A and B are shown apart, each in its own frame.
Chain A
Amino acid sequence: EAGVTQSPTHLIKTRGQQATLRCSPISGHTSVYWYQQALGLGLQFLLWYDEGEERNRGNFPPRFSGRQFPNYSSELNVNALELEDSALYLCASSFRDRGLGNIQYFGAGTRLSVL
């Protein structure tokens, strides 16, 4: 069974441009989460989508946005790129289960470099 897949693996953009990152969850998972892992800062929660709706959002500016499609795949869009947006962006997926053992499985990530 395929795990969480993300594309592209690497993305190089310049300041002010827009970046689009894609994620396909594990089959059967309806929830998709996005995290940013900047050097030295650890993983920071960005967004949570479930059943096509944005359910929760981290402390990031509105230029970070996304959506979830009917097949549960998801896009993360970053507008007006800034140098500090350079990071590894990780997508995770899980069942829509509010239980205590709700496990999030991570994809390999997209490394975004803003020049």
Chain B
Amino acid sequence: QKEVEQNSGPLSVPEGAIASLNCTYSDRGSQSFFWYRQYSGKSPELIMFIYSNGDKEDGRFTAQLNKASQYVSLLIRDSQPSDSATYLCASLVYNTDKLIFGTGTRLQVFP
């Protein structure tokens, strides 16, 4: 079983809609979670991180963490074609400094 799992997609949403990206993790030692966006051929760019149960909002982005269910999600409101990219979920096990990445979900926002 992979430690961090994501649906590979593609997830297709119309412009202006809410995109919901999901991630599950298996290691209960995971304490921080990161969402990176990666455009094709480019390096990952941090969108948000979260380590407390509940929601964390930053502009159009909301990260949600449920440690009991070992579930992390990223909501993108008012999706734009420029949001089309692969979104990588990563977990950090405290005191290891090693990020464990999922394989990413490809998001397509169509006009």
Interface residues of A (CB under 8 A from B): 31, 33, 35, 40-45, 48, 50, 55-56, 58, 90, 92, 94, 98, 100-109
Contacts and interface: CB of A to CB of B under 8 A. Distances in A.
Closest 6 CB pairs of A and B: A42-B103, A100-B51, A43-B101, A106-B43, A100-B32, A45-B98
A104 B46 CA distance: 8
Contacts of A94: 97
A45 B32 contact: no
A101 B32 contact: yes
Nearest to B34: A103
A40 B46 CA distance: 21
Contacts of A44: 101
Contact of B44 (A45, A56, A90, A98): A90
Contacts of A43: 44, 88, 90, 99, 101
Nearest to A6: B43
Residue of B49, B96, B99 with most chain A CB atoms under a 10 A cut-off: B99
